[in-house]
Structure 1
Amino acid sequence: MKVETNDPRPPYVQVADGLRRAIQSGELAAGSKLPSGRELAAEWGVALMTLQKAVDQLRAEGLVYSQQGRGVFVAAAGDRPPAEDLATLRSTVEELSQRLAALERRLDTNDGPRT
């Protein structure tokens, strides 16, 4: 996957959303190790720091965990705290708000002033 330049969301949010979808769909199974940060950054076409910020967001949501010297792993569904649902909901609302604001700006720019 690649970050979309015309997407109003920040690149780290796009990466986090993509990884979140892969985890929720089972493409990235519980207990599986994520590819290295460099590999994921290259796959998404982002800087390593951008990728790290996305992984930090998923870690805060309880979707992944780190093991020192071993890597980042997908957390099992039972291991995720109930707050994960709220964090995911907040993230989705924030994303939708940003997208709506971008659409409204585009409409205002294209249509001119409304009477």
Structure 2
Amino acid sequence: MDLSPEAPKPTAKEIAAEYRSKIADPENEHYSPGKRLPSARQLAKELGVQLMTVQSAYNQLRDEGLVLSQQGRGTFIRDPSVPLGTEPGTSPAFAALADELSSIHDALRLLGERLDRLEQAVGGETPPSR
């Protein structure tokens, strides 16, 4: 990001894209799982943007499952090996999605069991031709 005074101020989308690429870079040890991002206030001051712009960028990253926000502690890079929706600070959207996926998984398991029972009951009968 160009921080010179004459450069246009970055948008939340641009800030999020910058951090997204830093997080995705396996060579960048400063942005590995568990590392803390700069405080939103500090980054806003460095970039010369409004606090809400940085908060919006961090919210985008959180909603994508890349970071976790912990009130009073900061924003941290999420460990991708931990299932989404299980850590404190996870996006409410991911927590809801994780619950929904769990329900769908259970329903599919039950349907599979019913299908197995039906196939056993039918036994060696040939299915009707269409």
TM over 0.5: yes
Q: Aligned residue for 1:64?
A: 67
Q: Could you say which structure has the higher helix fraction?
A: 1
Residue 15 of structure 1 corresponds to which residue in structure 2?
Answer: 15
Q: 2:8 aligns with which of 5, 8, 13?
A: 5
Q: Distance in 1 between matches of 2:35 and 2:73?
A: 12
Segments of structure 2 that go 5 or more residues without pairing to the other structure are 85-130
For the residues of structure 1 that align with 2:70 and 2:12, how far apart are their CA atoms?
22
Q: C-alpha root-mean-square deviation of aligned residues, in Å? A: 2.2
Q: Percent identity?
A: 44
> For structure 1, which runs of at least 5 residues remain unmatched after alignment?
82-115
TM-score by length of 2: 0.53
* Poorly superposed stretches of 4+, deviation over 6 Å: none
Q: Larger radius of gyration, structure 1 or 2?
A: 2
Letter in 1 for 2:32: A
Cross-structure match for 1:86 = none
* TM-score (norm. length: structure 1): 0.59
Once the two structures are TM-superposed, the CA of residue 57 in structure 1 deviates from its matched residue by 0.4
CA 79–2 in structure 1, closer or farther in 2 if over 3 Å, else same: farther
Which of 1 and 2 has higher RCO (CA within 8 Å, sep 6+)?
1
**Cα contact 1:2–1:43 (8 A) shared by 2:** no
- Superposed displacement of residue 80, structure 1: 6.4
Q: 1:67 to 1:2 in 2, by over 3 A?
A: same
Aligned length: 78
